[in-house]
Amino acid sequence: GAVVSQHPSRVICKSGTSVKIECRSLDFQATTMFWYRQFPKQSLMLMATSNEGSKATYEQGVEKDKFLINHASLTLSTLTVTSAHPEDSSFYICSARRQGGAFFGQGTRLTVV
Amino acid sequence: GQQLNQSPQSMFIQEGEDVSMNCTSSSIFNTWLWYKQDPGEGPVLLIALYKAGELTSNGRLTAQFGITRKDSFLNISASIPSDVGIYFCAGLTGNAGKSTFGDGTTLTVKP
């Protein structure tokens, strides 16, 4: 069964609004989670590393004020897309490491209209 | 930064045929992972490899961790229509957990 749960799976929002995406590790504690963005027919692009109890580490070119990450507990990380614009429309996926490998959530399809 | 070269980019095969795809890198990885992604879904872990030379099977899937730790392959035997999807390799170094992904292999299986 799934070990990482992501919610919501789909969201449509108006331009200028903010959207929060949740990523939960279901049966293990994850001090580190990862947020990816995926464009159609492309590979996963790492956006940031979410660290429990401390600031996230962002990859080069990713705006930290645009993509707010909070990792308040050992089982939950959230990604908030602030003041969303149509170009932020994409598939966002989180993952967490556990013994046995890195496991992914189901992904969130964000559409900004 | 680290890069993975995954090939082939796409494959069109007949049901029942075997499939082989691979990933190579100029960097050494401690762990190799293979994923399958269906449209609109997150990647699902198929096989994890932890030691150089390791050969691991999961049903009709077999993957190997190259001796040099710079490559890995995935084989699918006797393909079926539900094997359709995008397959990604990923390499991990250390305990930081950050994964480097290949560009994916899109598999199409014709009944």
- A58-78 pLDDT, tens digit per residue, is 999 999 999 999 998 999 999
Q: How confident is the model at residue A100 (pLDDT cuts 50, 70, 90)?
A: confident
A97: pLDDT strictly greater than 90: no
Q: Is B43 near chain A, with CB under 8 Å?
A: yes
pLDDT in tens, B91-101: 987 655 678 89
Helix H or strand E segment including B30 = none
Residue of B36, B44, B31 lying closest to A99 (CA atoms): B31
Q: Is B88 near chain A, with CB under 8 Å?
A: yes
Q: How confident is the model at residue B2 (pLDDT cuts 50, 70, 90)?
A: low
Inter-chain CB proximity A104 and B90 less than 8 Å: no
Q: Is B96 near chain A, with CB under 8 Å?
A: yes
- Tokens encoding A75: 């089982």
Q: Is B54 near chain A, with CB under 8 Å?
A: no
pLDDT in tens, B45-77: 999 999 999 999 999 999 999 999 999 999 999
Residues of B in Cβ contact (< 8 Å) with A107:
40-42
Which whole-number Å values give the CA distances from A113 to A19, A79, A84, A92, B39, in the listed order? Answer: 13, 19, 9, 17, 22
pLDDT of residue A98: 79
Q: Is the peptide bond before B8 cis (omega within 30 degrees of 0)?
A: yes
Which whole-number Å values give the CA distances from A94 to A73, B9, B23, B35, B100, in the listed order? Answer: 15, 24, 23, 14, 14
Instruction: Name the CA radius of gyration of chain A, rounded.
Output: 13
